[in-house]
Chains A and B, each alone.
Chain A
Amino acid sequence: MERRRNHPVRSFFKYLVLIFVAVVQLFPLYWLFTFSLKNNAEIFGGNTMGIPQVFRWENYQFVFQNGNIGLYLQNSAIITAASILVSTVFATMAAYAIARMKWKLSNAALLAFLGGMMIPLHAVLVPLLIILNNTGLTNTYWSLILPYTAFAMPMAIYIFVGFFKTIPKELEEAACIEGCSIYGVFTRIMIPLIRPAIATVAVFTYLACWNELMFATSFNGGDATMTITVGVNAMAGRYATEWGRVGAGLTIATLPTLIIYILLSKQIQKSFTTGAVKG
């Protein structure tokens, strides 16, 4: 890709801005990491933003030795992966029916699904607890997978509908003429086309599930199903907290997120070279 019309000065200016923004956006990550290597004296006043005077790796050692952080990570991974999987499969299906198929209620259905996004979560905490308790699902992975899936779907469906709508009709028509079933069209033609959307939605669903605290605290108790977010939160004491250790816990909880985001967002970019079909 040669840029014959891009003026070098303008280009320089553009990169200057981009790099400046990048530094600003990177700062929280830097701050979290250095926070996790400090003690309270530095965090509170002494050295809030700088590089730690001494790198206190023992904060990490503490996190691994106290509580069951491995188990919590495993629980979070299972719950998050299941929520992403279920919500992606169901949301792509529903979005396809809404965006591409012809039925009277399709717009109403979209709005109804979107309604799920509009609920303030605190207002449904008690009803959900009643439902989950009556179905015996509290203290299981399902008590989180089901609500996480449900609350991930509105956003997913809305985004997928937007993507499906931009796909040209000719593709389905061609497949229809070739005798492909609607299910075949969906799985073999449509899904590959919206891969960037799936990756995008997966990122958002991942974040919502991985960092969720209120449901995870209220629907489950005990180590067996405890998520990493609850586990790290429990490191803050009622009376005294070693914040560096909490920072270490938060860093450990954030690391998988970072890795997954980088992997998934590569998918979004890659589709540039492989996904172009229309026009």
Chain B
Amino acid sequence: MEKFLRNKKAIAVFSVPALLIYIGMIFIPIGFAIYYSFIEWNGRAGAERTFIGLENFVELFTNKMDYFVPALANAGILALLSLLIQLPVALLLALAIARKTKGEGFFRSVYFIPVIISTAVLGQLWQKIYHAQYGVLNDILRAIGLESWTRGWLADPKVVLGAVFFVMIWQYIGYHMLLMYSQMKTIPRSLYEAAEIDGASGFQVATRITIPLIKPMIKVCVTFSIIGCMKTFDLVWVLTKGGPFHTTEVPTTVMFDTIMSQHRYGAGSAMAIFIMLVCLVLTLLIMKFFKAEDYEY
């Protein structure tokens, strides 16, 4: 058996095809990005490139005009919200529909819809919900007598971050729900039946059987959500472009602006490398955390 699973040739056959595509489409481009992060370059192929060492990385934290540090802080807040709100809600929904629920297929399909709808559409929708004059949110507030709360939700720097993050948290609940649900579906029915014969309550079944058994997927969800928060771009871009007054900048909107609008390839690539490093460190921490309580069969 050991020999069977140590078959070097088989390992190569299994992993080389993926690796080849990876090298061409991911590792080499990362190599370029690392190279760019050490130079000053205005993003024109024929223009001069000056090697400036680590200066771009230092600039990330000293150049106040780039708003990179506040953007990192925003991503951190988003990640926390995701861990504390998004994933628990997704787990509850997955638990609720995975077992003994009529219309399971319907709920599963419907809960995922916000993930399916393109971000451009969701951006349009929420811009209209949050609008100062004809927004539904203000209509509701007026109807329940909270006139003083009404405002342009995406224009007021005091509330805009919350308004944007709310949409982002909401949009991906279905995503994590589906991941958790799909692993719940591999849990053998016999385990549940045994528990029921023992008289376990629904809560006990969830905490003692379902959640421990889908722990690998919870780890996946935590990882994806943290990486996703560090890299989030689309919805912020369509809703606010990072404004007003840069209050809703996230690392990638700053990076996009630096690379694309300002053509500062060195600085922008340094941001990209830094974002990657943060993701890498956080992922290692998550792996370590979950390893401590790895569930073995």
Contacts of B131 in A (CB 8 A): 48
Listed in ascending order, the chain B residues whose CB lies under 8 Å from chain A are: 1-2, 4-8, 10-11, 13-15, 17-19, 21-22, 24-26, 28-33, 43, 93, 96-97, 100-102, 104-122, 124-125, 128, 131, 133-134, 136, 174-175, 178-179, 181-183, 185-191, 201-202, 213, 216-217, 219-220, 223-224, 227, 230-231, 233, 251-252, 255-256, 259-260, 265, 268-269, 271-273, 275-276, 279-280, 283-284, 287, 297
Separation of A168 and B187 alpha carbons in the complex (Å): 12
**A116 & B22 in contact (Cβ 8 Å cutoff):** yes
A6 cross-chain contacts in B, Cβ below 8 A: 100, 202
- How far apart sit A153 and B216, CA to CA, in the bound complex (Å)? 18
Whether B217 pairs with A162 at a CB distance below 8 angstroms is yes
Interface locus among A52-60, A61-69, A72-80, A119-127: A119-127
Q: Which residues of A contact B15 (CB under 8 A)?
A: 93-94, 97-98, 109
In angstroms, how far is the closest chain A Cβ from the Cβ of B297? 5
Instruction: Spell out A's residues near B (CB within 8 Å).
Output: 1, 3, 5-6, 14-15, 17-18, 21-22, 25-26, 28-29, 31-32, 35, 45, 48-49, 86, 89-91, 93-94, 96-98, 100-103, 109, 111-120, 122-124, 126-128, 130-131, 146-147, 149-151, 153, 155, 157-159, 162-163, 165-166, 168-169, 172-173, 176, 182-183, 186, 193, 196-197, 199-200, 203-204, 207, 211, 229, 233, 247, 250, 253-254, 257-258, 261-262, 265-266, 268-269, 271-272, 275-279
B128 & A49 in contact (Cβ 8 Å cutoff): yes
The 10 A-B residue pairs with the shortest CB-CB distance in the complex, in nearest-first order: A123-B272, A150-B25, A127-B32, A127-B29, A118-B279, A97-B14, A162-B216, A124-B29, A94-B18, A276-B188
- Complex-state Cα separation, A262 to B105, whole angstroms: 9
Q: Are B283 and A159 in contact (CB under 8 A)?
A: no
The CA-CA distance from A128 to B30 in the complex, in Å, is 10
- Quote the shortest CB–CB distance from A117 to chain B (angstroms): 5
Max chain B C-beta neighbours (<10 A), residue from A22, A91, A111, A271: A22
Tell me the minimal C-beta distance from B28 to chain A in angstroms.
6
The SS class assigned to the B binding surface is helix
B28 touches A127 (CB 8 A): yes
Contact call A271/B185, Cβ cutoff below 8 A: yes
Query: Are A275 and B186 closer than 8 Å at their CB atoms?
Result: yes
Q: Are A197's CB and B182's CB within 8 A? A: yes
Neighbouring B residues of A21 by C-beta, 8 Å: 93, 111
Would you call A32 and B11 a contact (CB within 8 A)? no
Closest residue to A213 on the B side, CB-wise? B120
Q: Which of B31, B111, B125, B183 sits near A22, CB closer than 8 Å?
A: B111
Cβ contacts under 8 Å, B202 to chain A:
5-6
A131: chain B residues at CB < 8 Å are 24-25, 28-29
A20–B102 Cα gap in the complex (Å)?
15
CB closest residue in chain B, given A180: B4
Query: In the bound complex, how far is the Cα of B122 from the Cα of A272, in angstroms?
Result: 33
- What's the nearest-Cβ distance from chain A to residue B48, in Å? 17
* A157 x B10 contact (CB < 8 A): no
